[in-house]
Structure 1
Amino acid sequence: MNGSGKEHIIKSYDDELARLTGEIVRMGELAATQLESAIDVVERRDERAAQRVVANDDAIDQMEQEISHDVVRLLALRAPIAGDLRNVFAALRIAADIERIGDYAANVAKRSIPLSMVAPVAPASGLAYLAELAAEQVREVLAAYNDRDTERAYQVWQNDVALDDAYTGYFRQLLTYMMEDPRNITPCTHLLFMAKNIERIGDHATNIAENIWFQVHGEPLNKQRIKRDFTSNPEPGRLDE
């Protein structure tokens, strides 16, 4: 094959990879918007709008399937190796993480429906701050992926501690409300599940950051990161501090 033929193949692969990256970034933006829409219906206590948010998750699922097909086609037609292969597999893994982010956003919207059927509780307003942190993490890591910016990805990876701290504080607040008045147990239980879904969105953003790091450097992100979600396995006395 002459030089121009090789250049054509390389350019064709680069074009396909750029298109794939663009699709993943659009998918991620849709997932972040879904989360914001879910929080909006929580605040408005709007059952119909919540059902629309849940239904919109199908669009994210469809995009993930299309991206998977594109990855298989790239593997079959281009037979990428080394760094090119990492690019393709990173796309597949990141798309899967975004699909899960969309699922968690839909779960928040689903929980808002029974929550809207009981008397409002004050802690419900605190959910928006968690969602704001999570959506920012998602958008930052998408920008890092689009630019292959490992330092920005690493910052997202480190910043997950802020969401963990906020989630743990919110968890404590909800427990206090439930202990003070049994009538708060049902709405606060819904809020606990919703908050956990949002915290998990942050975890998937860190997964994406790790994939970006491996995609660019060809090695795992092995740095130490503080993890401050103590709600699943609290240290003795931790929740009483």
Structure 2
Amino acid sequence: MTARITFEHELQVLHNDLKKMGIMIEGAIDCCMEAFENQDEVLAREVIAGDRMINDMEKTIETECLSLILKQQPVARDLRAVSTALKVVTDMERIGDHAADIADLIQRMKGKPPVYRLVQHIPEMARVAKQMVKEALEAFVTGDIDAAKDIIPRDDVVDELFNNVKLEVVHLLQDSSEHADECVDVLMIAKYMERIGDHAVNICEWTEFGKTGVLQDVRIL
């Protein structure tokens, strides 16, 4: 097997593992939102436990990337393909962390007044952010720069929904400060979801860099 064929084979293995990790983090987002809407403490615990599997997958992918760099010594575009995978997997791991953070907050909310039912925009934030993550990972694996660029503006939708949540929480606090702690928890959940959207944008930007060597309009490699 030639060095080129070996590199392409190992890169495909890497991309397959990125897809597997993507499925895991998409599932974590779905489950933490289901746990939020139903105040399901058991499901929240499952999300937290599942984050350990996501962390393990991150380590596997990092090892694959470093092995490719050390054994194959890629240059130019091949080097970008591997180095961006290292960056993307970090964003993916952070998405898993944020889902686990949300699940932890849900456990804290158990048995407290259902303030969360008065905040309408968090499930929609989750829907948009999850779709951004899904499509961003697809764009990265396929090297589709146009698709990646199309995803980035959707972060404005997530940001606008987050602003709506903040307004809803402010109105709740103006009506009564009795449930201030619960309002803060709800706001933190929305903030973690907003960060998930930010990580999807990062993945899109790394997709462009992997193909062009340009990151945020600056040529790097």
TM-score bin (small chain): over 0.9
Residues paired across the two proteins, number: 217
Name which of 162, 169, 172 aligns with 2:164: 169
* In 1, Cα distance between equivalents of 2:127 and 2:110: 21
Q: What are the equivalent positions in structure 2 for 1:46-195 lying under 5 Å apart?
A: 46-121=40-115, 122-195=117-190
State the shift of 1:204 in Å: 0.6
Contact 1:42–1:116 (CA under 8 A) maintained in structure 2: no
Counterpart position of 2:36: 42
Counterpart position of 1:231: none
Taking only aligned residues, the RMSD between alpha carbons, in angstroms, comes to: 1.4
Counterpart position of 1:197: 192
* In 1, Cα distance between equivalents of 2:105 and 2:75: 44
Q: Which amino acid aligns with 2:62?
A: S
State the shift of 1:11 in Å: 1.2
* In 1, Cα distance between equivalents of 2:102 and 2:6: 41
* In 2, Cα distance between equivalents of 1:184 and 1:177: 9
Q: Deviations over 1:33-77 (max 9, x none)?
A: 101100111111121221111111000000000111111111111
Counterpart position of 2:25: 31
Stretches of 4+ aligned residues off by more than 4 angstroms: none
* In 2, Cα distance between equivalents of 1:214 and 1:221: 8
* In 1, Cα distance between equivalents of 2:195 and 2:29: 12
* In 1, Cα distance between equivalents of 2:174 and 2:26: 33
Q: Which structure's CA Rg is the greater one?
A: 1
Q: Which amino acid aligns with 2:156?
A: V
Contact 1:43–1:125 (CA under 8 A) maintained in structure 2: no
Name which of 199, 203, 206 aligns with 1:208: 203
* In 2, Cα distance between equivalents of 1:123 and 1:197: 19
Contact 1:94–1:211 (CA under 8 A) maintained in structure 2: yes
Identity of aligned residues (%): 29
Contact 1:83–1:215 (CA under 8 A) maintained in structure 2: yes
State the shift of 1:178 in Å: 1.3
Name which of 13, 17, 20 aligns with 2:7: 13
SS of the equivalent of 2:215 reads: coil
TM-score of the two chains, using structure 2 as the length reference? 0.94
